Chains A and B, each alone.
Chain A
Amino acid sequence: MNKVLDLLDPLLILSAALMGVALYLIFIWVPTETNQGAVQRILYFHVPIAWGSMLGIFVVSGSSFMYLWKKNERWDRLAVASAEVGVVFGGMMLLSGMIWARPVWAVWWTGEAKLTTALILFFIYVAYLMFRAYFPPGAQRQRLAAIIGVIGAIDTPIIYFAANLWSQAHPPIITGPGADADSTLGSDLGTVLLVSTLAFTFLFIFMVQTRYKIRKSEDDLVELKRSSSASVMTGAS
């Protein structure tokens, strides 16, 4: 049997090593951005985490669609694993974004299109996970969850379009020191973001893979119980 959590997994080691390099780059190597100050360093976490949550939504939608089409359990496991990891990344994205926005935009939250879209999508995928938790297990739960995944994917462009129109009608309140100043970092910013994004991407893949294995073990256990109780029954008769 392969272990569910493998601490020597190459993905985990790679992610941890890159995470170390990213921390060094973020806190020691890269110069402080002059308009926003030290708080700008949150960006180096926020952007990769936001990328991870987008990746999560993308994988949930894709694998939900594949599940409805192929009815293969693997797609369902992949969908639930990336939904859970995606929601965790989404929550971290919203929190880190707010901590950054308070000093830079002078507000915790505003009606900007990307913010609104991110928040609504976060709610849709929380509802997806709650639905899975509330619904009795079985093929029907997997099908219905996949439908929510597909609906979320179809809704995403519509939400973004609406949020965009809405923020044009109600211009978001963005003041603060860094509201419209250009970055003073140039290519350093790109270098740090690249390393940090790679680190978080590998972490994302590792977490999804681990969750997938747990899900697989749960399914195996159910199958084992069913076959053992079936053999007991045939033995008794």
Chain B
Amino acid sequence: MMGSLAVIWAIGRKDLLLEIRNKDVVVAVAGFALLVLVIFTFAIDLNQGNAKLVGPGVLWAGIAFAGVTGLNRAFALEVEGGTLEALMLAPISRDLIYLGKALGNFLFIAVAQIIVIPVFAVLFNLVVFRWEMLAISLLTTVGFSAVGTLFAAMSVKVRAREVMLPLLFLPVVTPLLMAAVESTGHMVNGRSWSDMAQWLQLAVAFDVAFVVVSAFIFQHILED
């Protein structure tokens, strides 16, 4: 058990080190998401009433779209550097490779949100620094990176992968996106945990289902 965690952490740490040195993914994801937010402040005439109404949707749509651009890089670097073969040759099971890569993606999208969510609070004038936001954000990011890592590994060899990944990713994560938007909506309207409980349960079910299934199914992707 400790060995497995060490392997996952080693792969996640490798991606993290690369990211700390070139900052490609986090800057791209955060920048893209911020631009979506800014564009919507022009596209919608914001006032206190409709900021609460549309704000959560704009935030999570922005993070989902931006997340795709980051996920596209996850395996692109491995293929460009020819290191995917090295990973496959390593004497570790494939589900650990998956979990390690998913951990990296989770950290990137989470860090990008640490930049994006405060800006969202400022632009939309909403109170978001609450425990509810942390829970919603963590649950959504786990699901995004679980599904995203699987599909990114699949579409890395497709021509036009920049188009393929969002077409696969977005419809599959729609239920999670609904859960994030709805529970954030409850939060900005000052409702309690119990109002968003069903949505958070849905998010947990989504996360558990896709982390387990993806880890299990990943061996079929890295098979030659």
Contacts of B150 in A (CB 8 A): 147, 151
Complex contact B175–A148 (CB within 8 A): no
Closest to B175 in A: A162
Of A143, A144, A161, the residue contacting B175 (CB under 8 A) is A161
A-B contacts, 23 of them at CB < 8 A, read A120-B171, A123-B170, A127-B164, A130-B167, A131-B154, A131-B168, A135-B158, A143-B220, A144-B154, A147-B217, A147-B221, A151-B172, A151-B213, A155-B175, A158-B175, A158-B205, A158-B209, A159-B175, A161-B202, A162-B175, A162-B178, A162-B202, A163-B178
Residue B106 at the A interface, CB < 8 A? no
If A124-B171, A135-B157 touch, whether A130 touches B164 (CB-CB below 8 Å) is yes
For the complex, give the distance between the alpha carbons of A134 and B209 in Å.
Answer: 28
B159 shortest CB reach to chain A, Å: 6
The answer, yes or no, to whether A98 is at the interface (CB within 8 Å) is no
Q: A154 contacts which of B155, B198, B209, B223 (Cβ < 8 Å)? A: B209
Cβ-defined contact, B174 with A159, below 8 A = yes
Q: What's the minimum C-beta distance from B4 to chain A, rounded to whole angstroms?
A: 23
Q: Most chain-A CB neighbours within 10 Å: which of B147, B160, B168?
A: B168
B202 touches A158 (CB 8 A): yes
Number of interface residues of B (CB under 8 A): 32
Q: Contacts A143-B220, A147-B221, A162-B202; is A124 near B172 (CB within 8 Å)?
A: yes
Residues of A within 8 A of B157 (CB): 135-136, 140
Residues of B within 8 A of A151 (CB): 147, 150, 172, 213, 217
Please state if A147 and B154 are interface contacts (CB–CB under 8 Å).
yes
CB distance from A103 to the nearest CB of B (A): 29
User: Which residues on the B side are within 8 Å of A136 (C-beta)?
Assistant: 157
The verdict on B224 contacting chain A, using a C-beta distance below 8 Å, is yes
Max chain B CB contacts within 10 Å: which of A120, A121, A162, A163?
A162
Known: A127-B171, A131-B168, A158-B206. Is A144-B221 also a contact (CB below 8 A)? yes
- Distance in Å: Cβ of B151 to nearest Cβ of chain A: 8
Chain B positions within 8 Å of A154 at CB level: 209-210, 213
Per the bound structure, the CA–CA distance linking A38 and B205 in Å amounts to 44
Chain A contact-residue range equals: 20 to 34
What is the CB-to-nearest-CB distance from A92 to chain B, in angstroms, rounded to a whole number?
19
Cβ contacts under 8 Å, A146 to chain B: 220
B179 interfacial by beta-carbon distance below 8 Å: yes
Q: In this assembly, does A68 line the interface, its C-beta being within 8 Å of a C-beta of chain B?
A: yes
Q: Which of A185-215 contact B (CB under 8 A)?
A: none
Question: Which residue of the partner chain, among A127, A134, A148, A158, contacts B160 with CB atoms under 8 Å?
Answer: A134
Is residue A233 contacting chain B, with contact meaning CB distance below 8 A?
A: no
Roughly how many angstroms separate A124 CA and B159 CA in the complex, as a whole number? 19
Among B167, B199, B202, the one with the most A-chain Cβ atoms within 10 Å of its Cβ is B167
Residues 175-222 of B contacting A (Cβ, < 8 Å): 175, 178-179, 182, 198-199, 202, 205-206, 209-210, 213, 217, 220-221
A169: Cβ under 8 A from any B Cβ: yes
